Structures are given as structure tokens and as C-alpha cells.
Amino acid sequence: MLSRQFQTLRHLQKSTTTTHLLQLQALILKTALDRDEFFISKFIQSSSSVSIEFTRLFFDSLLPLDPPPPIFAFNTIIREYSKSSSPLESVKLFSQLQRVGLKPDKFTYPFVLKSCGWCSVIGVGGAVHSLVVKMGFDSDRYVGNTLLRMYSGCGTIGFARQVFDEMCERDVVSWSSMIAGYVACNCPLDALMVFQSMKLVNQNPNSVTLVSLLSACTRLLNIRIGTSIHSHVIVNNIKLDVALGTALLEMYSKCGRIEVALQVFSSLEEKNLQSWTIMISGVADHGRGEDAISLFTQMEENGLKPDSLSFSGILSACSHLGLVEEGKRYFDQMVNTYGIKPTMEHYGCMIDMLGRAGMIEEAYRVIKSMPMEPNSVILRSFIGASKNHGEVNCLDENLRKLLLQIEPDLGGNYVLAACVSSVSENWNDVASLRDAMKGRRLKKAPGCSWVEVNSASSGEIIQPAVG
């Protein structure tokens, strides 16, 4: 019997296809190894890395047996589902585990909680949290880290912070998870405050922590703290991997230091699609459309397949440069070569590009061809371009009505519509639009820009400069 187990295990270690697994399954049933808990655990562990679907079918066939599959087998499949495109199956298996009378252990809960976070099922996650406390696993650091990530993933950052504050022991993963949670929930200033507390307890950040901190700096447009993080990376000789390097170049790009961003980009030994896309969008946003096109070409030459965001960046560059033919070519390439379905943002770039070039009729045809209703940004862009190029007489009245319908409380929309009516000398329409603004007590918001004040001392104080 023992020699048969060893022989089957050797075959199992060499199994890389479902066909091999089916042959082994037949051997298992023939030799009654399906009653051996150790062997079943090993078989499920190996087969799940080959095919989770096959493993699940095999596992389900064992459930009616007495005794049921061991907890290790349950944990293995729950873990694999938590990493798959069907994480909710982990939660279902967790319920099944309880129904057959097995008790979850400290390895079960993190996988289930991770799946709850991915699926944003806060009710189930809270119930699992209650079980964690009841079973006494709330003091386990690994379980605690997964709990706070689960609450952050569900957008309930307050619960995540409560878990964090109640942890008896925190490691760098705990601190990093809390910082990342605040960033994910759009609370970047809180993320930086947690980092200050992290420094007070002499907990050194790792690369994951720094990536989240740089994301917080990017959202706050805080170049001072972002630069200090870069200095920390250099002084401590931290490897600039693709994730950290990409976060750095995005921070510099969004904070207006495009030359430094390009230097970081050039220094990266490894660049992924996100790195290229952020750099392309960065130079495009800084009015360097030719550099954006050059980078896009280099990205394709390096064998990377552009995605939806990559094309948003290059189409934006073509729009600001007035490169209409190039923009049309990229749009066609996106749809017909790469099979990417255009989003609202892609259509917006095309309409803005055509509008800037005075090609109003063609921009209108793009709007009519859209499979979705245009948003307010597209409508304002098109109507504004029609006004600027004196093409208001052929403007579709329904588009102006749609703009006011989508955003009835934005004064600028009424002003734009009134300007178009005044150009076409439709004074009755102008008067009714002004009456509508007065009735709603609306005013056109003044243009504004953001500048950082007292950055040398605080770095967090941001004030608007109205102009």
C-alpha cells in the first residue's frame, strides 16, 4: 500500500495536464486512495494548480464520503478560488465546510476574507469577522491584516481602522495595508498621517508601503513629500522595481515635474504597460504630443500591446497637437487591430480633436454614431467648438437640451447655451435661458487653478487661486 502511494505521488508531481489528472483519478479510485486524507490533500494541492475546475469536480465527489475531505483540502481550494476570477466560490465553500461539521482554522479565514473584499460582500465579511472573534483568531496578525484589507476593499475604511487600532501586534504588512486602504478610499491625507505614526514606532516601510505613499502624494499633488520618498529610496539603496518606479514617475508627472518623470522612466530596467501608459499620458498632458507619439511607437516596438488607457493618452495627445489624421488612424487601429471597444473617453478625445480643427460636421457624425448617450463633457466640447468656429446655425437643438438635462444645476451650461443662441441671434432663447438661471439661482463658477501654499513648512496646505 505504501509503495503504491509513493508511486502515485511521483506521477502526481509530474502531472501538468487535465488528461494526466484524469488518469490519476482513475488510479485513485481503483486503489481506494480516496480514503487516505494525506494523499487526498496532496492530490488536491497539486491538481488545483493545473485546473481548479477539475479539482472542484473531484472534490465534490468526495463530500458524500465519511469522513469528508480534510480541512487542508478545503483550504487549498478556497485559496485557489480567492486568486481566481470566481472568488465568490471561496465563500460558498466556506459555508459548505461548516455544513459538513469541520471547523475552520487560522489558514481558512484569510482566504475567505480576501474573497469577501474582492467581491465587496461586506455583510458576509462582517459575519466571518464575528466568527474570527468567536473562535479566538482575532489576535492572529495574518488574520487581522486580511480583515483590514477586506474592509478597505469594501470601502468601509472606518471598520478597517478599527481593526488596525485593535491589533495587538502590527508588522510592516499591517501598516502598509492601512496606508493602501486610505489611498484606495480616497483619503490620501489620512494615509500620510498613518505613515507619520509608523515612523514614530520605528517601523521601516517596504517597497509596497512606498508605492501607496507615492499614490497619496500624487492625489494631493504634494511634490515635497513625494521627493523625500524618492530620496529615501536612493539613500537606502531600495531597488527601483517596476511598481515603485511607475509610482514615482506618475507622481512627478502629475505634480508638473515631467523632466524628472522622464529621467525615472529612462532609468527603469523593467517597464510594464502601465509604466508606458502613464508616461505617454504624462507628456501628452504637458503639451508634448510628439513625445507621446514617439513613446507610443517605442512601446509597440517593444512588443507591448496597448490597452484602452494607452489609446486614451495618445488620442489626447493628437487632440492637443491638432494631429487629426494621426488621431483617426490611432482610433481605427484601436478598434480594428486591437479589438478594443471605444469608451466615452475615447469618443470624447475624437470629438474634441475634430472640434478644435473646425471639423464640426464630422464631430457631429461621431456623436451620432456613439452607442451610448454623450456625457456633459462631450456636449460642452462640441457646442463650444461649434460656437468658436461659427457653426451654430446647423447645431442640433437636441444636444443643447440634453446638456441642460444632464447637468441642470451647472450655471456654465446655461451660459454656453445662451452664447450659442446669441451668435444665431435667437434672443428669445437667450432670455429664457437667463430666466432659467435666475429661477435656479445659478451662477457661472469663475475659473480657478490650484497652487500650493507654505509647502516648505507643511506640504499639506492647498489653496485655490481664483482668476
Summarised one tens digit per residue, pLDDT across range 440-461 is 555 555 655 655 555 433 333 3
Question: Left if phi > 0, otherwise alpha if psi is -120 to 50, otherwise beta: which for 339?
Answer: left
pLDDT, greater one: 226 or 428: 226
Please, what is the angle between helix 122-134 and helix 141-153, to 10°? 160
Confidence at residue 461, expressed as pLDDT on a 0 to 100 scale: 32
Confidence of residue 191 (pLDDT cuts 50, 70, 90): very high
b/e code 109-123 from CB counts within 10 Å (16+ = b) = bbbbbbbbbbbebbe
Residue 373 dihedral angles phi and psi, to the nearest 5°:
-70, 135
- The mean of the pLDDT values for the chain is 83
Res 464: pLDDT: 32
Q: Report helix, strand or coil for 261.
A: helix
Lowest-confidence pick of 54-68, 73-87, 290-304, 420-434: 420-434
What average pLDDT does the segment 211-215 reach? 96
Please determine, for residue 465, whether its predicted confidence score (pLDDT) is greater than 50: no
Of the candidates 124, 54, 58, 57, the residue with the CA atom closest to the CA atom of residue 87: 124
Residues in the chain: 467
Number of C-beta neighbours around residue 29 at 10 A: 11
Q: Give the pLDDT of residue 67.
A: 78
Alpha carbon of 320 to those of 206, 311, 340: distances in Å?
39, 14, 22
What's the pTM? Answer: 0.78
User: What residue has cell string 493628437?
Assistant: 318
Lowest mean pLDDT among 40-49, 244-253, 292-301: 40-49
**38: confidence class by pLDDT, cuts 50, 70, 90:** confident
> Does the pLDDT of residue 147 top 70, yes or no?
yes
Least confident of 55-69, 168-182, 402-416: 402-416
Distance separating alpha carbons of residues 459 and 446, to the nearest angstrom = 26
